[in-house]
Amino acid sequence: MTIAELRPAARTAADRPLETEYRPRHPVDVRRTVVYQRHGGGDPTMVIAGEVIWRASRTPEGIATLAIREVSPGVIRGAAWGPGASWALDQLPALCGRDDDPGDFDATRHPLIADAHHRHPGVRIGRTDLFFDSLASAIIEQKVTGMQAFGAWRRLVTWHGERAPGPTPKPMYAPPDIEGWRRIPSWSWHRAGLEPPQSRTIVEAARRGEAIGRVFMAATDGEARDRVLISQRGIGAWTSAETRIRALGDPDAVSVGDFHLAHEVGYALTGARVDDDGMLELLAPWAGQRQRVIRYLEASGIREPRRAPRLHPEDHRNR
């Protein structure tokens, strides 16, 4: 991937990125795998411009902008700018699902899964290896509509994050660091549209963020990681699962408590709604790979018909 391929314009030495090429050993649907990390169409940390996916992140080595393009089947090129460029390029294969191990996953247990597995061989579960970004975004998405959560994420990251380097197709921003999340003032949370329970949870988690992150990332299984997070006030099973999925690409994590997920899983696999217990029972034959089943269900395109009017959430920012 050359600079000219990314965005034709005059360049200076400071614009020159580090570059790499990744050739996965298995099929990868790059867009589906990477864009799973996006928080709504207006996410300032991720922009899709033509064939290029742009991602801004705050790496352990500083902020970075990563441009990802599949130049041909089986060839993924990355270019990165900023202090964290080298880290971002090293992490690119994991973001594209290199570490995702299907193990003995058996798609033939259900005809819909078998069909989706056959038609979408590039379904992979990527990971960011960025704990607190994943945790903060999951907390913001607690118990609200996607529209509310994505709007709050967009405002907070734009107001309190850091401008992403490089020739991005539009202004992009990396999220705040842990101390930055902790120092967001109360009025800014309110203006962003976030309710006090979520903002308090993020601030309290940020006070011990480094320590929590070390223990979480060092844990060796999902139950241990859940114990780390659920021990923190305001964090439950749903938030822990979402963090595991995004940060670590956990192939077994299931977001119990999601408003739609159980209904969608039940409808896809049985034609009828189920509750969380029913969903877990349906997914039990794929223990260890339950998130993978959910990804194939999403890829199948099967959706429960909507029966109720669209929810119009109340905007509390003018109270």
Can you give the CATH number for the domain in which 101 is found? 3.30.310.20
- Does a structural domain hold residue 72? yes
Instruction: Please answer whether residues 15 and 175 qualify as being in contact, where contact means their C-beta atoms are separated by less than 8 angstroms.
Output: no
Q: Could you tell me which residues come within 8 angstroms of residue 117 by beta carbon, excluding any fewer than 6 positions away?
A: 107, 123, 296
The pLDDT profile of the chain, 319 residues, written as one tens digit per residue, is 444 444 444 344 457 899 999 999 999 999 999 999 999 999 999 999 999 999 999 999 999 999 999 999 999 999 999 999 999 999 999 999 999 999 889 999 999 999 999 999 999 999 999 999 999 999 999 988 889 999 999 999 999 999 999 999 999 999 999 999 999 999 999 999 999 999 999 999 999 999 999 999 999 999 999 999 999 999 999 999 999 999 999 999 999 999 899 999 999 999 999 999 999 999 999 999 999 999 999 999 998 887 655 545 555 555 5
Instruction: Please answer whether residues 84 and 64 qualify as being in contact, where contact means their C-beta atoms are separated by less than 8 angstroms.
Output: yes
- Does a structural domain hold residue 83? yes
What is the pLDDT at residue 7? 47
- Does a structural domain hold residue 129? no
Instruction: Please answer whether residues 262 and 298 qualify as being in contact, where contact means their C-beta atoms are separated by less than 8 angstroms.
Output: no
- Does a structural domain hold residue 16? yes
What is the pLDDT at residue 313? 54
Tokens at 127, concatenated = 């990971």
Whether the model clears a pTM of 0.75, i.e. scores above it, the answer is yes
Q: Residue for token digits 């909507």?
A: 306
- Does a structural domain hold residue 35? yes
Instruction: Please answer whether residues 84 and 8 qualify as being in contact, where contact means their C-beta atoms are separated by less than 8 angstroms.
Output: no
- Does a structural domain hold residue 279? no
Q: Domain limits at 65?
A: 11-107
Dihedral, CA of residue 21, residue 27, residue 33 and residue 34, to nearest 10:
10
Helices (H), the chain: 3-6, 30-35, 85-95, 111-119, 131-140, 146-160, 178-182, 186-192, 196-207, 209-218, 222-230, 237-248, 261-270, 276-283, 290-300
What is the pLDDT at residue 145? 86
Tokens at 84, concatenated = 């964290």
What is the pLDDT at residue 13? 43
Domain count for the chain, please give it: 1
- Does a structural domain hold residue 302? no
Q: Could you tell me which residues come within 8 angstroms of residue 57 by beta carbon, excluding any fewer than 6 positions away?
A: 45, 63, 64, 66, 84, 88, 128, 130, 133, 174, 175
